[in-house]
Structure 1
Amino acid sequence: MYNVSARLRAGYGALLEALLDQAGATEACGVIERVHDADLPAALPEFWLRPDLLLSQTCGYPWLHALRGHATLVATPCFDVPGCDGSDYSSVLVARGDSGIRTLDDARGRVAVANERHSNSGMNALRHAVAPLARNGTFFGAVKWSGSHAASLRMVRRGAADLAAIDCVTYAYLQQEKAASVEGLVALGFTAPSPGLPIIAGSAVPDVVVRRLRNALLEPDAPLRKAMAALRIVRFARRDERDYARIGYLEEEAVSLGYPELN
C-alpha cells in the first residue's frame, strides 16, 4: 500500500521476509508465494478476499465494508510521521500554493480529486471533513478520481484539480523519497483520525499461524525492528473490529449532515 519508491518497495519486502522468518511461517505453511505489485489484480478487494491470503495490507474502508468476516485483522502499524497518533492516521488536505485556498472552506466550488471511491483516506475522510460545510448536499464544483494518491498530487500540482486528501503516511513518504512530487503544494491541515491500514490474513489461514504472525509484529526481534525502523514504523498495535467501526462513524456523520457522497 505504501510502495511509492523502489527503496520503500525493497524495504517492505525486507519487512515481510523478517516477519515470516521470526514467525516461522515457512515451517508452518510450507511454500509461500510472493505476489508482486505487477501481478496484483486491478480489483484489489478480489485479492484481499482470497481465503489462502497469508498476509497483506488493506485500507480500513474496504475492510469494514467488504472484507470483514472474510479476512482476519492481524495488527496495525504505528508510523512516526505527522498526522499519525499511535496506530491512528489521518489525511493531509493539500492544495496548490498559488490556488488561493488556505482553508477547506476556500475550496467551495473548486475541483477535488480522490484516489479511489472506496478509500478511507482519499474519499471517506474528505467527505467527513467537507460535510459540515456542504449546502444542499454539494460542496465542490466537481470531483475527479485519479487511481492513486500520487496521481492525485500530480493533478493538483498541474492544475487539473484544486484539492485532495492524501494519506499522511503516503505524503510523508513522498516528501522523503520524491520531494519534487509535492513542490508548490501547501498543507491546509489534517482530517479526523481513524485506525490505520491493517495487516490482514485470509479466512483459511489457521489461527495458530495468525497468532505467530501477530506475536512477531507485536514483539519484533532485532531483524524485524531494523526493517520497521527503515520504514518509519515505531511498532505494531492490535486493533479489533470495534476500532475499525470508527471509520463507519465518519461515514455516518457525513450522511447525517446530508452529505452522503463526495461532490
Structure 2
Amino acid sequence: MSHWIAALPMYNVTPQHDALWRALLRDTLDAFAQAGGPREVDLPAAFPHDLLTLWRRPDLLLSQTCGFPYRMLGVANAVHLLATPAFDVEGCEGAFYRSVLVVSARAWDAGAVSLAACRGLRAACNGPDSHSGMNALRHAVAPHAHDGRFFSSIEWVGSHLNALRALGAGEAEVAAIDCVTLAYVRDALPELLDDIRTIGVSAAAPGLPFIASRTVPEQHAALLRDALDAACAADAQRARTLRLRGFVRLAAADYARIEQYADEARALGYPELA
C-alpha cells in the first residue's frame, strides 16, 4: 500500500500531552523509516469523530485503541497488536491499569464514601464503548445492583475530562476515570480535582493497545514494535511527562479479561450500565 496514516487519539488530555504524543509518533515513524518502513505517512491534524472506522482502516500504519473496541467490537480482527504502554502511575502494574472510582465532594459529604453507598446517584461516563469509563464501572457496580439497576441515570459525556467537569458542576455524582488520565489531570489540571473524591478502584485490565492494520506486513509490524521502543527511549523528559515507562508485548488473549468482566456483570444480572 502506497499511502498510510497514523494517529494517537487516546491520551491527549491537554494540548501539551497532545504535542508530546505527536512528537513520540513522529519519532516512531522516523525510526521505522530508517529501518526500511515507508517514509510518506499522513498524520491528521484532527482526529475523526468515528474512531472505530479509523481503527479498521486498511491504510492504518499506527494508532492506539481502547481495549473494549479491540476485544468486544471487532477491532482485533482487523489489526496487528503491536504493544501496550506501561505507565508510571498509581493504579498501573506493568501494562495493566485500573479505573479510579470517584464522586463529587457534595456526594461524599452526603455519605457516598463507597461505591455501595452511591445507589440512586447519577453517573457520568465518557462513552458506551469505553472499558475504563463504562465496562470497568459496570463490573464494579454489578454486585450492588438490584433488578439490573443501580444509578438513577447515566450521562454520556464524551470524555473523562467531561465526566470530571460534570461532577464538579453538579450534573452527576459518580464516574470511573482511567488512572492514566487522572494522573495527567493531577499533573496539568489539578483544579479539576478540587471537588472530586476517590472511593475505590476497578479490577485491573490490559492497557490501551497500539495497533496496525493487518495489511501491514508482519515484518513491518515487528519493526514498528522496535520503533516504539526507540521513540520512548529517545527523549527521557518527554517520557517522564507522559509517565511512560516503555512498551510491553502482550498477547491478544490477554485482552479476554475485558470480555470476562462484561460476562461477570451479565451473570450478576447487570448487562448494561444503568
Structure 2 regions of 5+ residues with no counterpart?
1-9
Residue correspondence of structure 1 range 33-182 to structure 2 within 5 A: 33-36=42-45, 38=46, 40-65=47-72, 66-99=74-107, 100=110, 101-182=112-193
For the residue of structure 2 that corresponds to 1:164, the secondary structure is strand
Amino acid at match of 1:63: Y
Corresponding residue of 1:29: 38
Amino acid at match of 1:44: L
Deviation at 1:6, TM superposition (A): 1.4
Q: Does 1:205 align with 2:212?
A: no
- Could you tell me the TM-score, scaled by structure 2's length? 0.91
Q: 1:9 aligns with which of 15, 18, 24?
A: 18
Indicate the larger mover: 20-29 or 169-178: 20-29
Identical-residue share of aligned pairs (%): 43
For the residue of structure 1 that corresponds to 2:106, the secondary structure is coil
- State the alpha-carbon separation in 1 of the partners of residues 201 and 32 from structure 2: 36
- State the alpha-carbon separation in 1 of the partners of residues 178 and 270 from structure 2: 21
Deviation at 1:147, TM superposition (A): 0.6
- State the alpha-carbon separation in 2 of the partners of residues 220 and 111 from structure 1: 42
Amino acid at match of 1:73: L
Amino acid at match of 2:166: M
Is the contact between residue 122 and residue 164 of structure 1 (CA under 8 Å) also seen in structure 2?
yes
Structure 1 regions of 5+ residues with no counterpart?
none
Amino acid at match of 2:61: L
CA RMSD of aligned residues (A): 1.5
Deviation at 1:223, TM superposition (A): 1.3
Amino acid at match of 2:215: A
Amino acid at match of 1:46: T
- State the alpha-carbon separation in 1 of the partners of residues 178 and 254 from structure 2: 18
Amino acid at match of 2:171: A
Corresponding residue of 1:18: 27
Is the contact between residue 18 and residue 227 of structure 1 (CA under 8 Å) also seen in structure 2?
no
Amino acid at match of 2:77: G
Q: 1:44 to 1:163 in 2, by over 3 A?
A: same
- State the alpha-carbon separation in 2 of the partners of residues 145 and 107 from structure 1: 18
- State the alpha-carbon separation in 2 of the partners of residues 30 and 218 from structure 1: 18
- State the alpha-carbon separation in 2 of the partners of residues 170 and 236 from structure 1: 18
Q: Does 1:235 align with 2:246?
A: yes
Deviation at 1:219, TM superposition (A): 5.9
Deviation at 1:123, TM superposition (A): 0.2
- Could you tell me the TM-score, scaled by structure 1's length? 0.95
Q: Does 1:191 align with 2:232?
A: no
Amino acid at match of 2:264: E
Deviation at 1:216, TM superposition (A): 2.9
Q: 1:221 to 1:76 in 2, by over 3 A?
A: closer
Deviation at 1:207, TM superposition (A): 1.3
Indicate the larger mover: 23-32 or 67-76: 23-32
**Number of aligned positions between the proteins:** 261
For the residue of structure 1 that corresponds to 2:85, the secondary structure is strand
CA offsets, 1:165-223, max 9 Å, x none? 01110011011111111111111111001000000001211212110011233466741
Corresponding residue of 2:5: none
- State the alpha-carbon separation in 2 of the partners of residues 33 and 94 from structure 1: 38
Deviation at 1:56, TM superposition (A): 0.6
